[in-house]
Amino acid sequence: MKSFAVSAFAVILAPAALAQHQTFVVNPDASEVKMTLNTTHEVVNGTFHIQSGSIEFDRSAPKMSGSVVVLAGSGKTGNDSRDKKMNKDILKVEQYVNVSFEPKSYAGVIAPSGDSTIQVTGIFTLLGTPHEITIPILVHLEGTTTTAKAHFVVPYIQWGLKDPGFMFWKVDKDVTIDLFLNARLT
């Protein structure tokens, strides 16, 4: 009788436990990465194409897995010669095709609907080198439609990328990233 009660209890609770585990499947065509780099002569704005993304999370534990992958050579700043130099000399796209972020954990509460602000810690891989970073993310859930917005700074020079400045043209040592993900929640 005791084992029957335990089994019945498990069957009743199983759907609730499974509902805690969800996957955030990114729509690359409705998502984007924007970058801003301040220089002595201008502010350089650019966009990059998100190639793919899928993030698994569990509301009952602060763990995440998956990745968001950006095509390194997709960067566009509105200046073809600058983009060519960025791809060849800075991002080395022939050797490092992708830039990626793999979330590992989060702090905060992901509400079942509406807005939630969480701190996501994970591995940001740039030029093939992994860097741990914590990113504040605003998540909005509405049924199966989900968006995520993040604004953070990448210390690209400290992380081993070439300084694009020369002579009298100086650039900041950090680049600001604005990330917008549009996804389906499964």
pLDDT in tens, 92-140: 999 999 999 999 999 999 999 999 999 999 999 999 999 999 999 999 9
pLDDT in tens, 18-70: 457 899 999 999 999 999 999 998 999 999 999 999 999 988 889 999 999 99
pLDDT given at position 103: 98
CATH 2.40.128.110 fits 22-185, yes or no: yes
pTM to 2 decimal places: 0.85
Give the domain ranges of the chain: 22-185
Query: What tokens does 125 get?
Result: 């891989």
